[in-house]
Structure 1
Amino acid sequence: MLNSDQNKKIIIDGSRFSDLAGFYDEASLVFMKETDWKVGTLDGFDDILYGGFGVFENKDQVEVTWKDSQKSKEDLGLEATRHFYENKIRQGKPFNIELIQQKLDELLSGNGQTLFQILIEIIESHKNITLILD
């Protein structure tokens, strides 16, 4: 086990974005320095967290601090998530419209996840990453 001095430290700065596209830009900047690949989807964000082609390797212990996380929680909250799902429904194929409508219905009934919660869940699913909300 690496001690904390050997952990890779990455900062997501919530003051630098106010929507999902801005989050993807920030994630590309901090996780994919000096590469041509850019984050553009939730799946793509999950993919870069496996490591190996950005700023850390697959087995590295990584500490991610999300500064201004309360701002991001609001920016990527109910309204942003509603728009996210509505846009996918409007686009239709290749998206699974029934599943997206179900997720939208859950969100509007108070049982669904916001984009912020989805991003947190994605980060926390990677056992080598420690998330600190600041």
Structure 2
Amino acid sequence: MLNTSNKNNRKMIVIHGGHFSSLEGFYEEASEILMKDTDWKVGTLDGFDDILYGGFGVFENHEEIEILWKESEKSREDLGLKVTQEFYENKIKQGKPFNIELIQQKLNDLNEGKGQTLFDILIEIIESHKNIILTLD
């Protein structure tokens, strides 16, 4: 959903947590709302970060936008500890090209209660873009 009549002249982009329950589902949602009418689809965390720079989706480079993440608590649970552990375990099983030592450390941190879940990582990626305001609903 795109709302270009936002009172602060920011383009409003809405992520609906009710539309997905997995990382792959999040990528599909992000592709649908951020990459509308393009052939490119989000498929990795790095790819998600890349599209937030703008210029080849629904907003331009450095354009001021706001992302409203509806049902974010559902997403926090869906992309929480268990799914993140599986995400790292799958990368370790796959081996190359992944940095197994780094991923094992991230998994260890997660298991010790001090690591980031996939939800936390997605939030950090969004917040690293200074032209984007994130609102969790």
* TM-score when normalising by structure 2: 0.95
Which of 26, 34, 39 is 2:37 aligned to?
34
Matched length = 132
Q: How far has the Cα of 1:6 moved from its partner?
A: 1.7
The one-character-per-residue Cα deviations of 1:59-98 (angstroms, maximum 9, x if unpaired) are: 2100000000000000000001000000000000000000
Q: How far has the Cα of 1:127 moved from its partner?
A: 0.2
Distance 1:122 1:106 in 2: 19
Q: How far has the Cα of 1:128 moved from its partner?
A: 0.2
Distance 1:58 1:17 in 2: 27
Q: Does 1:78 align with 2:81?
A: yes
Q: Which runs of 5+ in 1 are unaligned?
A: none
Aligned structure 1 segments of 4 or more residues deviating by more than 3 angstroms: none
Where 2:69 maps in the other structure, the secondary structure is strand
Distance 1:34 1:113 in 2: 32
Question: What is the alpha-carbon root mean square deviation over aligned residues?
Answer: 0.9
* TM-score when normalising by structure 1: 0.97
Give the structure 1 partner of residue 3 of structure 2: none
Q: Between the two proteins, what is the percent identity of the paired residues?
A: 71
Q: What does 1:37-48 correspond to in 2, within 5 Å?
A: 37-48=40-51
Give the structure 2 partner of residue 24 of structure 1: 27
